[in-house]
Amino acid sequence: MKSSAAGVENRRREESGEDGQLQLPPGWIRVRLPIDVDAIAGYLMKTVPDFGTSLSGGPVQILQSDNGMSNPTYMLWREKTPHKKYVVRKKPPGKLLPSAHQVEREYRAMKALEGKIPVPKCHVLCEDTSFLGVPFYVMDFVEGRVLDDDRLAGWTPDDRSALYADMVDVLAKLHSVDPASVGLGKHGKSGNYAFRQLKTWGRMYDMADPTIEANKTKHDYAPEVLAMGSDMRRLARELKILAETAVNEETTIVHGDYRLGNLMLHPQKPEIVAVLDWEISTLGHPLSDLAYCMSPWETPGVFLPGGVEEGFLPQGVPSEDEFIAAYCNKRGIQRFSQREWEFWKALNWFRKAAIVHGVYARALAGNAGSSSALQKGYLFTFCVERGLVSLGMTPGAPKL
From 59, 86, 69, select the one nearest 29 (Cα to Cα).
69
* Residue 397 falls inside a structural domain: no
Do 198 and 52 share a domain, yes or no?
no
* Residue 399 falls inside a structural domain: no
* Residue 152 falls inside a structural domain: no
pLDDT at residue number 100:
60
Do 240 and 97 share a domain, yes or no?
no
* CATH number, position 204: 3.90.1200.10
pTM value? 0.88
Do 190 and 316 share a domain, yes or no?
yes
Tell me how many degrees the CA angle 9-15-19 measures, rounded to the nearest 5.
Answer: 75
DSSP 182: G
* Residue 400 falls inside a structural domain: no
Do 188 and 333 share a domain, yes or no?
yes
Do 227 and 351 share a domain, yes or no?
yes
DSSP 325: H
Do 222 and 316 share a domain, yes or no?
yes
pLDDT at residue number 21:
56
Do 133 and 164 share a domain, yes or no?
no
* Final residue in a domain of this structure, among 140, 170, 203: 140
Q: pLDDT tens digits, the chain, 400 residues: what are they? A: 334 444 444 444 544 445 445 577 778 888 888 889 999 999 999 999 888 777 777 889 999 988 655 788 999 998 888 889 999 999 887 655 555 678 999 999 999 999 999 999 999 999 999 889 999 999 999 999 999 899 999 999 999 999 999 999 999 999 999 999 999 999 999 889 999 999 999 999 999 999 999 999 999 899 999 999 999 999 999 999 999 999 999 999 999 999 999 999 999 999 999 999 999 999 999 999 999 999 999 998 888 887 656 678 999 999 999 999 999 999 999 999 999 999 999 999 999 999 999 989 988 988 755 667 788 888 999 999 999 999 999 987 554 3
Do 226 and 349 share a domain, yes or no?
yes
* Residue 145 falls inside a structural domain: no
Do 134 and 177 share a domain, yes or no?
no
Do 217 and 80 share a domain, yes or no?
no
* Residue 62 falls inside a structural domain: yes
* Residue 185 falls inside a structural domain: yes
Mention every residue, 6+ apart, whose C-beta is less than 8 A from residue 326: 165, 168, 318
* Final residue in a domain of this structure, among 140, 166, 191: 140
* Residue 148 falls inside a structural domain: no
Count up the domains in the chain and report the number: 2
Q: Using alpha carbons only, how large is the chain's radius of gyration in Å?
A: 23
pLDDT at residue number 369:
57
Paired strand residues for 252 = 284
Do 238 and 342 share a domain, yes or no?
yes
Q: Helix or strand or coil: residue 64?
A: strand
pLDDT at residue number 7:
43
Mention every residue, 6+ apart, whose C-beta is less than 8 A from residue 286: 175, 250, 252, 254
* Final residue in a domain of this structure, among 78, 105, 140: 140
DSSP 300: B
E strand intervals along 46-194: 60-65, 73-78, 81-90, 122-126, 136-140
Contact 238, 332 (CB under 8 A): no
- Give the end-to-end CA distance of the chain in Å, rounded to a whole number: 66
Domain span at residue 70 reads 5-140
Do 282 and 341 share a domain, yes or no?
yes
